[in-house]
Structure 1
Amino acid sequence: MTTFIAEQTPVTTLPGEPVPYVIEAGSGRAHVLLGEVGRALVGAEESAGAMSVMSLDGPRADRPIPLHYHDEEYEFFYCLRGAIQLWADDESRVLAPGDFGFIPPGTLHAYQLRGHHSTFVGPIVPGGWDRFFDLTGEPFGTAAFPQGPKGPPPFAKFGQAEQQFKMKYRQDAQYAEASTGADDTLPAAQQAYFLRSGEGPRHELAGQLQTLLLGSDQTEGRVTMTTVELAKGPGLPNHVHERTYESLMVIEGRLRVTLDGAEHVLTRGDTASIPAGTEHAYRGEGHYTKVLTMSAPGGLEKLIATAGAATEEHVFGTGGALDLDALREAAAGLDVTFA
């Protein structure tokens, strides 16, 4: 006899507490600032302070945001759509979809939307900086772009934000010209860097390909970000992180996620929030699915890297059966317990 489990409907507003949920693409706590819409998909309240997960999108911008740095926050820029110019100290790149940039604390940085419709997404660690948009922007209730004049920058609110969010604007600093680089390797220690789409250490496990965007080595143990690509079929079985918060965003395809026994099917732009202590699993629901994973603290990148095998390929293969014993062995010493 087959048991059918009802699929859960994604939420459109943040729950305000660290419970598992899936939030629908285009939803979240949204504010418009200078014609761009920042959306909090996860806030400090939902992650128990581990991270915020933000998306920002809008039309082509006339100028970059002001150069600034943060005393504490780590910022991550994964380009989903269009083109994003990103500045990091004395370097700048124009990011295309799938390209990535990392900004650790103390790094002078800025961005500018360069495409007609551009979007980037990423965590901010620790959580809480998403409230910058609550302070400086205006609530925005739809998935459309704001129309009409952008209005002047809210300079008084920017000044307040410097104190409240421990950041500093550098009006005397110069914007570097955009340049090109290899951008195909990760540094051995914490520093700002750019990474081209598809580059980074890659490991394959039972037909799923993990590409590391950054891990413990690049963030002094604080964050992990990867992409995972897989076909229809098993991903990872039920497991729990006792201390680690994790979030999954579907970039392409469909992903079936189980959160404490409740099943969800995520499509492009949907995001799962998985607080520590949540039993969860995922599997590919479409013939090709790509997922952006974000977790804090770092370390989860080592599970697939240890249980699987390094590969030079940029696409996943047919793979084989998932070896649960090998997974459990690889999980030793990591914050992962399989059911």
Structure 2
Amino acid sequence: MSTSTSSKAIPTHDSPPIPPASTSTYIIPQLSGELVSIPGSKSVFRILASEKQTGDDSIGVFSSGGALADAPGFHHHERAHDIFMVTKGELKLWVGDSCRILQAGDFASIPPKIIHNPHLLGPITETYGLIHPSSWIDFFRYVSEPTDIPSIIYPEQDSRSLPALLVPKVIAAAKAGKDYDVHFHREHVGCEVAPWSDADTVLPDGEAPYYLRANRGPRWILGGVVSRPFITGTQSSGKFAITSLEGSSHLDAGLNPLAAPLRYAVHHVLVVMEGKATINVEGYAPATLTEGETVFVQAGVAWGVVFESRFVRIWSFSSGDGVERVIERAGRQYTEGYVVPDKAESWDAQKFEEVCKELQVKAA
């Protein structure tokens, strides 16, 4: 199914500079992006979108992969809001006075001023992250080595000490008057790991640090699309939102509310986590994406998605209330199941139009 008549393909960037330094739609292949590696981390950051692409300071989105290595150390950010999402392996994460072991699908939100420390437990750990403001990603660029990373996946054999290399560089930057908003607490002692609890299955009513256990959080449904928000504007003070969009090619295509492109007032970074989906972006020919591929769509450009396999999971990162809020307000809470239902349901078209109007979302 396609709603675009243009023959112009969305640019795919798989060689430097990626992503491009312009506010336009693009696709990034699996395990690609602007690659930076912090010495001694045995890991790589793959920047998928930053202020260079959004044209503002709203969101920076990246993935990372690494092996068991030293933790960077306890630190906080005065202004930056940090997010951790695990897709493979294990991550030991201290957040304030709590600590959890995060595995695939687990999530953590760390607002400004909260002391935290991530420790990859490996041997293979993959994560996604979002940070606001997006210019904070310049810290990665400052402390990293050149972007021509020789490793195919990440520098697993880098045996240097991460803290020994990282902390002096941050101190030197501060002395030179460069504020990267990283404040170390070298004497801080982390607490013991605690088990997951029922508190880790709900979203807080405001901006606060929290963990969210995989697939245990709130769920919303509209038509045949399930949305599992990790964080909304309520928890980020309106700065950004992240959700998992899930659907199926086996459901009635006419009951897919995302098929017809909609023009949102915020940026969206869409990452296909499972399955295959066709993305229809205004002004471009339809593009079919599979696992690990990313598309960036800037604010004001309409986009829609068609699910092309039995199960599709797409993670949506937006610079404010986006697709997740449309599904929440126009749909209903999905409490009777955890997976995509066997049958899509109809929805109130008038309510859908009213919600879109409230959120400044327009049909293409």
Does structure 1 retain, via aligned residues, the 8 Å contact 2:10–2:26?
no
Q: Does 1:122 align with 2:129?
A: yes
Displacement, 1:298?
3.3
- Given candidates 157, 162, 186, the residue that maps to 1:148 is 157
Question: Relative to structure 1, is the Cα distance of residues 323 and 256 closer, same or farther in structure 2, using a 3 angstrom cutoff?
Answer: farther
Q: Does 1:94 align with 2:101?
A: yes
3-state SS of 2:186 partner: coil
Counterpart of 2:193?
178
Counterpart of 1:164?
179
Q: Does 1:314 align with 2:319?
A: no
CA distance in 2, matches of 1:161, 1:119: 29
Question: Relative to structure 1, is the Cα distance of residues 160 and 295 closer, same or farther in structure 2, using a 3 angstrom cutoff?
Answer: farther
Counterpart of 1:25?
30
Displacement, 1:145?
2.4
Does structure 1 retain, via aligned residues, the 8 Å contact 2:58–2:239?
no
Q: Does 1:301 align with 2:332?
A: no
Unaligned runs of 5+ residues in structure 1 are none
- Given candidates 303, 309, 323, the residue that maps to 1:286 is 309
Counterpart of 2:296?
273
Residues 223-266 of structure 1 deviation map (CA, whole Å, 9 limit, x = unaligned): 11111110014451211123x11111111111211222322211
Unaligned runs of 5+ residues in structure 2 are none
Counterpart of 2:112?
105
Counterpart of 1:214?
231
Counterpart of 2:13?
11
Does structure 2 retain, via aligned residues, the 8 Å contact 1:30–1:141?
no
Q: TM-score, normalised by structure 2?
A: 0.87
3-state SS of 1:218 partner: coil
Question: Relative to structure 1, is the Cα distance of residues 322 and 146 closer, same or farther in structure 2, using a 3 angstrom cutoff?
Answer: same
CA distance in 2, matches of 1:304, 1:230: 13
CA distance in 1, matches of 2:67, 2:32: 18
3-state SS of 1:315 partner: coil
Name the amino acid aligned to 1:294.
F
Moved more, 138-147 or 106-115: 138-147
Residues 124-164 of structure 1 deviation map (CA, whole Å, 9 limit, x = unaligned): 11112222222111122553221533323323322245542
CA distance in 2, matches of 1:322, 1:338: 17
Does structure 1 retain, via aligned residues, the 8 Å contact 2:68–2:122?
yes
Does structure 1 retain, via aligned residues, the 8 Å contact 2:111–2:208?
yes
Displacement, 1:9?
5.8
CA distance in 1, matches of 2:96, 2:302: 41
Does structure 2 retain, via aligned residues, the 8 Å contact 1:27–1:143?
no
Question: Relative to structure 1, is the Cα distance of residues 241 and 141 closer, same or farther in structure 2, using a 3 angstrom cutoff?
Answer: farther
**How many equivalent pairs are there?**
336
3-state SS of 2:329 partner: helix
Q: TM-score, normalised by structure 1?
A: 0.93
Counterpart of 1:201?
218
Displacement, 1:6?
7.1
CA distance in 2, matches of 1:91, 1:29: 32
RMSD between aligned alpha carbons? Answer: 2.0
Identity of paired residues, percent? 24
Does structure 2 retain, via aligned residues, the 8 Å contact 1:199–1:211?
no
Displacement, 1:70?
0.6
Counterpart of 1:50?
58
Question: Relative to structure 1, is the Cα distance of residues 47 and 207 closer, same or farther in structure 2, using a 3 angstrom cutoff?
Answer: same
